[in-house]
Amino acid sequence: MVYLRDEHFAPSLMYDNEGKVHVDKAYRSSLTAKLPSDPLIDEISARARSFPFYQHLGDFQPIVVQNYGIAGQYRDHFDWYDDKLAVGGNIASTFFVY
């Protein structure tokens, strides 16, 4: 079982058009925590990879927990940049589990 405490969470990062990291709480007010390797987390990741669309995409980013709190938000956005600005590669899709 994975347990997360407040100290595991940090403000969710964003990237500007030049690929620089910044935090903008007016646009994205969530906190993010990366999940450690665990049998349950590995099973969720395997389930996500089993969907036909994901089988040919290559690498997956680590599974994270987003905490939006009360009235939190992340406005419409694109996770796609020019190749020279893509930080760690472009994100083709996001898989959410509630």
Q: What is the pTM of this model?
A: 0.66
Closest-CA residue to 33 (of 14, 13, 10): 10
Looking at residue 42, the DSSP 8-state letter turns out to be: H
Backbone angles phi, psi at 31, to 5 degrees: -115, 150
Mean pLDDT of 41-69: 77
Rounded to a whole number of angstroms, the CA Rg of the chain reads 15
Q: What is the pLDDT at residue 36?
A: 82
One-letter amino acid of 81: Y
pLDDT category of residue 87 using cuts at 50, 70 and 90:
low
50 pLDDT exceeds 80?
A: yes
Q: Which residues of 34-47 are buried (b: 16+ CB within 10 A; e: fewer)?
A: ebeeeeeeeeebee
Mean pLDDT of 93-97: 71
> How far apart, in Å, are the Cα atoms of 38 and each of 7, 43, 55, 61, 64?
19, 9, 22, 16, 13
Q: What is the pLDDT at residue 33?
A: 92
